[in-house]
Each structure stands twice: as C-alpha cells, then as structure tokens.
A and B are shown apart, each in its own frame.
Chain A
Amino acid sequence: MAQIGSFALLLALALSIYSFGVGLLALFFPGDPLWERLGETARRAGVVVFGGVFLAAVALVVAAFRNDFTIAYIFHHSNRDLPGRYKFATLWSGQEGSLLFWSLLLAGYGFVLRLRYKTDPRLFAYASVVLAGVQIFFLSLVNFAANPFGLLEGPLRADGSGLNPLLQYPEMVIHPPMLYLGYVGFTVPFAFALGALIMKYPGEKWIHITRRWTMVTWGFLTCGIFLGAHWAYAVLGWGGYWGWDPVENASLMPWLVGTAFLHSVMMQEKRGMLKVWNMWLVFFTFWLAIWGTFLTRSGMIASVHAFAQSAIGTWFAWFLGISFAAFLFFFIKNKDHLKSEHKLESLISRESSFLFNNLLFVLLCFTVAWGTWFPKISELVQGNKVTVGAPFYNRVAIPVALLLLILTAVGPLLAWRKTSFESLRRNFAWPTLGAAAVMAFLMITPPSWGGPFGLRPWQDISYFYSLMAIGLCVLVTLTIASEFYRGGKVISGHTGQGMFASLVQLTHRNTRRYGGYLVHFGVVVVIIGLAGAAFNQDKESEKGMDYGDKMTIGSYTLVCRSYTQDDGPNMASEWAVIDVYQGDKKIDTMNPVREFYKASQQASTKPDIRSSLKEDLYLVYEGQNEKGLPIIRAHLNPLVMWIWLGVIIILGGTALALIPNAPAPVRIAVPARRMEQAVPAVTGD
C-alpha cells in the first residue's frame, strides 16, 4: 500500500505541475490551435490529479484497515482494536493524513470545476491554472515534507499507538471533513476571482458561476464549526462549546470574511459596486483558510487542540507570502478593471447596510486575528507570553454581534439606492413596536420568574447585552415574518391561492432571498441559545458520591445509584449511574463516564447530557476521590439546544438558497420613449 500511495501522490504532483505549466502557456497563446489543444490536455491532467490523490487516500485507508504498521502514520494514529469508523478517520486524524485529505478535497473540487468548463471555457481555464498552482503546493507538502506513506524505522511493531482518545467520538468522523470541505472550498471562488482579475473578465458572470461554490463551501464551514463546538461540548467535559481557542479562531476567521463576501457580492451582482473590496474579501477568505491550516499545523500558537508541531510551518509561510505577492501583483496591474459602475447614493439604503455589515465582519475578524496572534507577538517583542482570554474577545464580539443583528433586521427592509422616511416608517413601525414591547416586558417582570425575566439593564452590563440580544432577535424575527407575509399576500392576491401555497411559491420564485431570510432566522435562534449562557449554573460533589448520595442543581435532584467499571479491548472505563429526579418523579438515569485508552495510555472524559429546549443537564465524571467515590460535576446550561437547532435552520436556509429560482412570471419591458432618448453611455467595443 505504501508503494501505491507514494506513487499515486508523485503522479498527482507531476500532473498538477503539467496542468499548471502547460495551462499557463496555453493562456499566453490564445487562438493558436496547437496551444489550444495543449490547454485541453492541461485541463484533463487536472481532472486526473483527482484520480491520483483519491488512489493515495484509498491506499492509506486500506492500510489502516489492514493494520499495516510498517507505515509510520498508521502506527502513530491507529491500532488493531480501533473501531472501524475511527480506522477510516485515520485519514484525517494526524498531520500527514489531514494534509493528504486537504489535497484530496482540493482535487475533488478541481475535478468538478474542470468537468464543468463548458460554462465559460476561458474563465474556467484561468481558474483551473490558479487551482493547479495551489495543488502543487499541497501535493509538494505531502510528497516531500509530510509524506503519509513514510515507513517506520526499526523492528516491526505488533500494534499501533492508537488514535487520540479525544478524537474517538462519532462526530469526529464527520467534523473534520466538513471543516476541511469549507476550508478547501474557498480555493474555488479565489481561483475564479484571480482568474477574472488576470484576464480582466468583463462583467460579473464569474460571480454567478462561483456563487454556488461559495455558498456550498460556506455551508460546509458553518456545519464544521458548529460540529466542532458540539464535539467540544460533548467530549471535552468543561461544560462549554466555545473557548476562543486559537484553533477554533482559525476556523472562525475565514468564516467571518466569507460571510462578509456572501453579503457584499450582492452589491457587485446587482449594482456593479464594491469590486475591489470583493476581490480582497475573496482573497482573504482563501488566505485565512490557509492561514488557519498553518496555525493548526505549525505548532506556532499554543492550543488545546495542539495537533502538530513541525517544520511544515515554513512551507506554509512561504506559500502565504507567495500567494499574497501574486495576488497583490495582479491587483495592482489590473485594478483599473475593477472600477465601480455606481456610487453610494444614500446612507439609508440596502447598499450602505451591506457596507456596514462588511465593516463589522472584518472588524470582528481583525479582533479575532489580533487576539490569536497577540501571545506570539508579545513573546517576540517582550520575551514573555501574554494569554488572551475570553473576556478580551467578548468585549468586542458581543457589541459587534449586536450591531450585526441590527443590520440583519434593517438591511432586508431597505430599498436599493435610497430609502425615504416614509418607507422606513412603513417597514419598521410594527417590528420595532413588537421588539420594544418584549423588551419592556422583560424589564418589568420580577426576577423571581427565573430565566431571562427581570432584566434590569442599568444594574449590570451583561443584563443590558442580554436584553438587547433578545429585543433584536425579536426585531429580526418580525422583519423576516413581515417579509414573508407581505410577499405571500401579493402572490395570494394575484393567484387566489391560500397563504401557505403562496409562501411556497414566493420562496420558489426567489430562493436566494428567502433562503437568506431563513439563514438569518437560524442566526437568531443560535443567538438565543448563546444568550442562555448568561444563566448557566454548575455544582460539584467535592466529597464524592456514595450510593444514595444526593446533589441538587436547578430543579433537578441527582441521586447516585451506583458506580462501576468495565474493560474492553480498546479501552477500560469507569462510570457512575445517576438517577435524575424532578420533585418526587424520576425522569432519567444518566451515566457520565471516564475512559482509559490502552494503546495510547491516555484518559478521556465523556459527559452525559440530558437535553431539552429549556436546558441541558450536563454531568461529568471527574474521577475518584481518595475513598474511591466518584466525583460528579453538574452543569445546568439553559437553551443550548437552540444553538444546534439554529444551525440546522441555517443549513436548511443555505440549501434552499442553492435551489434554482422558478422562472420569473412577469416579463419586463422598457418603454419605447426611453429607448429613443437613451444615448449609449460607453463607446468602443
């Protein structure tokens, strides 16, 4: 397997170089039949790269299933008794494998791109060459710097070291692929953008072509980030889902800039504006995705994820530098091509709301980047490492998130170009009144009602934030509902259909817009879930829990029924059996567990979580005290399930936005008199 894998990777690298070199030369000689044909061979070489990398990936997975411990990577990341799904996950559980996986996904995206070239062959040829350039980098890495097929030196070992226990969790089989599909996918919009910039592509068609790629990629990244958050919540046992860890931040940064791009790209499509800004956004989304990989793989930044420390950081640094220089060169050379067709006409317009939204996303990204790199910068400058914790990020992220929520509510209701006061009054009166009423209700209710009631914003800044978050969530929900209602009413008036059928038709007529609204609604639901963290409670049985011992948290009484141990081939485990009562009624039995993995000689804690829409009861087996009694830590986390529900809504909205629109039912014509008056604005072909 090692021979086949190594060969396949070399073949893929050679074909990428061919695809890049010959493809580039073919673009230099447009119209020459020989070079046109060679350009076609370059495209086909790019297609075959996928075959090569796929073969290598299959070889690695087969080696894992065959327990081929002659391969160092398999020895370090698998063992004989590892369950099958984690053997499969070996492909991305270590540095070399995950870089191979990166290359595989990149080749996969390239494969689809190169097969769909007939949409616009010349633009696709440029994008293919850019993509081949990125492929050369990653395939060079896996061939020369981090080869997953390197053989183990010394005598053959009977068993492997095993997979990191934290990764032995079902979600880890899908979290990294989702995240990587997101990271890698941003290469495609970048390839099209750079291609369009180099060839001075006339018009915005390239954006239409890449829109689906960008949205799919964004969807994968969103899914990957939240799966990671859920994994942290369900496996790490600290009771939270987001800790502003550098590796988490690494995935957040391209997501933030990518989200900004998804919004501002509409300005370019609709109004031919923000071309320069969009070009930089798409570049930075790609660049930050690579930077994130660099961050996780180089070991430069301390992280709880601490995947690897190796010399490949230098490779990444060079690639980041070269890609930046190449982009800057073409940008400076061709920036005249990116002149806006229109100017901002009013500060109260859809355009300006997109502009502010973009600035906020970029500000947030800059804050996260600063917080992530500050410890390293301070170490370099002052010699001592300064830790940047959650308070730093929250200080900026919470107000910015609230401002973004305002824009989420306001943006869709503003007209393109300019919005009059009368329009504002029509669109905002009822949603604003509704939100204000909810906020007033929350302020005047007594705190004894529990949860978010009795929020007195003048008492504590966290109350102010919670109140604003809830009020703005109501505002966004009402504006979205009013958009659906008004649209549905128009269709219902025209067709005589019922409201539900009209709403379906409305959504089908503009999937992008209404899918977008659904995404916004999902964000609202996520924010409600995040706001629940302000009311978290936790308790710990410091003395341990013997049979029959009780602990109370919130409305729950926990009674220890027993504690026991088990021994399996892959791991040994010990757990407690806890009966959960509400009042006198037993409602559940929970089993927090601690596992000890034999191959890697590492322990892991797996909490047990009882989830409901209202709150999560989260129990952790902390270990045993000196008397051998289990120490149980209990957390009560309100509204956490809303976060995961919100993500499902976001992904549903993204999928909806990807469905093609139904044909427009109304033909549009320009009056003849305007045609007669019109003077060609631009002359020359």
Chain B
Amino acid sequence: MSFELACCLLATLAALFYIFFPGTFSVGRVKTRASYLRERKDVVYENLRDLNFEFKAGKMPESDYQSLKSSLQDEAATLLAEIARLETKADGPRKARS
C-alpha cells in the first residue's frame, strides 16, 4: 500500500469515527416568548442606562431626559408585565399538578 493511499484511508476512518460516534449531544432549548421578552427587556434597560449616562454627561436638557426616560420606562414596564403574566401562566398548571 502506498503512503498516499494509507494517509487517505486513515483520514477517512478518523472522519467517519468522529462523525458517527458522537456520544452525548444537546439539541438545546426551544426559544420561548418569555426568553425573547427577557432579551428585549435587557436591551431596554441598556438603553435606559445609556440615557442616564448621557444626561449626566450634560448632553441633553432635563425636559428631553424626562420625556425619553418616561417612554423607555413604559416600554420596560410593558415587557415586564407580559413576562410576569407568562410566568404566572406557566407556574399555574405546575402548581395545580403538585
């Protein structure tokens, strides 16, 4: 058997072994609406932090800051309310079963 052929054979066997004997594997969780909303909540909170910092840095007057902060807080509150509703709904059947 030539050196080249031996290399090719060895590479094929190693590849097949790695591919078809995977051992344990994880498919991951399916993304729920609650997890999606939590991501959005993080973004809105980050926006709020940025806004606070820019206000402290003197980039905007008080009136602009209050108006922008208020709209971001409304957005966050809406998200939190929906997250709370979804979590209550998910906890309900669990409690009922136990």
Most buried by B among A37, A39, A269, A675: A675
Once bound together, how far apart are the Cα atoms of A46 and B90, in whole Å? 38
Question: Is there a chain A Cβ closer than 8 Å to B81's Cβ?
Answer: yes
Once bound together, how far apart are the Cα atoms of A270 and B39, in whole Å? 11
Once bound together, how far apart are the Cα atoms of A423 and B60, in whole Å? 5
Residues of B close to A490: CB separation below 8 A: 53, 56-57
Are A413 and B47 in touch, CB under 8 angstroms?
A: no
Residues of B close to A15: CB separation below 8 A: 15, 19
Question: Is there a chain B Cβ closer than 8 Å to A335's Cβ?
Answer: no
Are A668 and B49 in touch, CB under 8 angstroms?
A: yes
Residues of B close to A120: CB separation below 8 A: 28, 31
B-binding segment of A4-12, A172-180, A318-326: A4-12
A679 with B26, Cβ < 8 A, contacts A4-B8, A668-B48, A685-B32 known? no
7 residue pairs, one from A and one from B, having the closest CB atoms: A121-B28, A678-B77, A486-B57, A674-B77, A678-B81, A680-B82, A202-B36
Are A44 and B18 in touch, CB under 8 angstroms?
A: yes
Contact of A416 among B40, B47, B58 (CB under 8 A): B47
Q: Mark A660-671, 1 if CB is under 8 A from B, else 0.
A: 000010101011
Once bound together, how far apart are the Cα atoms of A123 and B82, in whole Å? 25
Once bound together, how far apart are the Cα atoms of A41 and B15, in whole Å? 11
Once bound together, how far apart are the Cα atoms of A323 and B26, in whole Å? 30
15 further interface pairs, Cβ-Cβ under 8 Å (given A490-B57, A685-B33): A11-B12, A51-B11, A51-B15, A122-B28, A203-B40, A204-B43, A413-B59, A417-B71, A426-B58, A426-B59, A426-B60, A490-B53, A674-B74, A678-B78, A681-B82
Residues of A close to B78: CB separation below 8 A: 678-681
Are B15 and A48 in touch, CB under 8 angstroms?
A: yes
Residues of A close to B56: CB separation below 8 A: 490
Once bound together, how far apart are the Cα atoms of A559 and B82, in whole Å? 81
Residues of B close to A417: CB separation below 8 A: 68, 71
Question: Is there a chain B Cβ closer than 8 Å to A489's Cβ?
Answer: yes
Are B49 and A666 in touch, CB under 8 angstroms?
A: yes
Are B61 and A37 in touch, CB under 8 angstroms?
A: no
Q: Mark A212-250, 1 if CB is under 8 A from B, else 0.
A: 000000000000000000000000000000000000000
Question: Is there a chain B Cβ closer than 8 Å to A415's Cβ?
Answer: yes
Are A44 and B77 in touch, CB under 8 angstroms?
A: no
Are B26 and A41 in touch, CB under 8 angstroms?
A: no
Question: Is there a chain B Cβ closer than 8 Å to A487's Cβ?
Answer: yes
A-B contact pairs, 22 of them (CB 8 A): A8-B11, A36-B25, A39-B27, A41-B20, A48-B15, A204-B43, A270-B46, A416-B68, A417-B71, A418-B64, A419-B64, A420-B60, A420-B61, A426-B61, A486-B59, A487-B53, A668-B45, A670-B80, A674-B73, A674-B76, A675-B81, A680-B81
Residues of A close to B8: CB separation below 8 A: 3-4, 7-8, 11
Q: Which residue of B lies closest to A668 (CB)?
A: B45
Are A679 and B18 in touch, CB under 8 angstroms?
A: no
Once bound together, how far apart are the Cα atoms of A675 and B41, in whole Å? 13
